[in-house]
Amino acid sequence: MNITDILDEESIIAELTARDKKSVLEELVSVLFEHGRVKDKEKPVEVLLERERLGSTGIGDGIAIPHGKLKEIKGIICSFGRTKAGVDFQSIDEKPTHLFFLLLAPEDSASEHLQALARLSRLLKDGHLRKRLLEADSKKELYRIITEEDAHYTSP
């Protein structure tokens, strides 16, 4: 699985306006809703907040990968958002989070869900990639960077 299989340019937010965890999740779900990838906004946010109560999906180094499962969707979907200011996402390193990859998967897709999480984690370990994402000027450039980096890795 490649990130570009689940993320398209219209699901990217170049600069999030949200300043707290719940608002970040709402904004990332809203872009999926606006483009018809989810049927409503409330249920996905509820599922994501439920997952966050188990432990933050802020994995450190300015990254969070909020994720959850929904009955209503047919395949894995992703949105991406960036905030240069950073948000307190209760990350494991207790530092502000700047880069958010939100994943939603069908309830019966454990294997694919884990593959997508692993793929994102592997890509985002690259400090150079994180720096490029923070410095990108537009949604188009963010998508180009993600596409280029994604192409360098073979699927797990």
Q: Which of the residues 35, 67, 113, 152 is marked catalytic?
A: 67
Candidates 133, 136, 66; CA nearest to 101 is 66
Q: Is 67 a catalytic residue?
A: yes
Alpha-carbon gap, residue 77 to 148, rounded angstroms: 19
- Give first-to-last CA distance, the chain, whole Å: 7
- Identify residue 27 by its one-letter amino acid code: E
List the helix and strand counts (H, then E) for the chain.
5, 6
Residue positions annotated with a catalytic role: 67
